[in-house]
Amino acid sequence: MHWRCVRPLFWLALLAVLAGCGETPTGRSQLALVPGPLMADMGGDAFDQLRNTQPISRDAQANRLVQCVAEKVVAGAKASYPGLEFPERWEVVLFEDPSPNAFALPGGRIGVHTGLLQVAETPAQLAAVMGHEVAHVLADHGNERLTQQLGIKAVLLVVGLLGEGEFGSQQLMQALGVGAQLGISLPFSRTHEEEADLMGLEIMARAGFDPQQSVALWRNMAAHGGSQPPELLSTHPAHKSRIDALQQGLEEVTATYRTVTPAAC
């Protein structure tokens, strides 16, 4: 192809890249090119797929707990990051799944596995997980990972030279942090996980949940999960590293927690 034909595409691609450069709520530089409305649509499609293929819990008491904690966590997120755009409503579903997982998707969708309720012994511990997952959405981690996976295709998507249907649903689900076949929660990069941990602390504290319970939650996870691969071989931080990092952030968020009304769920 002659340079004169390529040059318009080059400048469009460059503009798209520049437009996609930004910062996460913590101030970290980020390249996230996929348009927000498209991310929300993909999040909705992924959630519908899971809801249609995975069993949903009918336990009334468990559902009340999950809905209550989710409502307060979303309110805490809005109070923590008032400059961000939030969905008008959040859909929350409790899935029958023994794995101790949860996830949040763009567009305002939260999924919780019943197995998590066996590990999160208090509403505050459940809020620690939900706050972490909502933080992934607020920090646009799925968009960032999808941009990395697509490479130049992300630029072509932005400039309208590639349609959503030209990349696979499995790739989309993985970028959003969800396993399409089993409904499992997939790890983000270690940078994303650490960022979501710290944002999640702020969110749960603003929501009225004792942030100290985040440490208790991950101790429970360590006891439940058994052995982990060496930290260098895993995108998730090792339990001890994660707990140490959370403890370092507790002083500031505990001061925040003392200024709000404790949550009751």
DSSP state of 33: -
Helix (H) or strand (E) holding 129: helix 123-138
pLDDT in tens, the chain (265 residues): 333 434 444 434 444 444 456 788 888 887 777 778 888 888 888 899 889 999 999 999 999 999 999 999 999 999 999 989 898 899 999 999 998 889 999 999 999 999 999 999 999 999 999 999 999 999 998 888 887 776 545 555 554 444 455 454 555 656 666 654 444 455 567 788 889 989 999 999 999 999 999 989 988 887 776 444 333 334 455 667 777 778 887 888 999 999 999 999 8
Q: What is the pLDDT of residue 4?
A: 42
Count of C-beta atoms within a 10 Å radius of residue 24 = 20
Are residues 107 and 44 in contact, defined by beta-carbon separation less than 8 angstroms? yes
**What's the whole-model pTM score?**
0.80
Q: For residue 176, give the nearest of 210, 149, 204, 155 by alpha carbon.
A: 149
Known catalytic membership, residue 251? no
| Tokens of residue 113, six digits | 């596995």
Q: For residue 118, give the nearest of 140, 98, 143, 136 by alpha carbon.
A: 98
- C-alpha 5/C-alpha 9 separation (Å) is 8
Q: Is 196 in a helix, a strand, or coil?
A: helix
**Of 133, 144, 194, 195, which residue is the catalytic one?**
133
- C-alpha 246/C-alpha 225 separation (Å) is 19
Q: What is the pLDDT of residue 241?
A: 75
Are residues 43 and 107 in contact, defined by beta-carbon separation less than 8 angstroms? yes
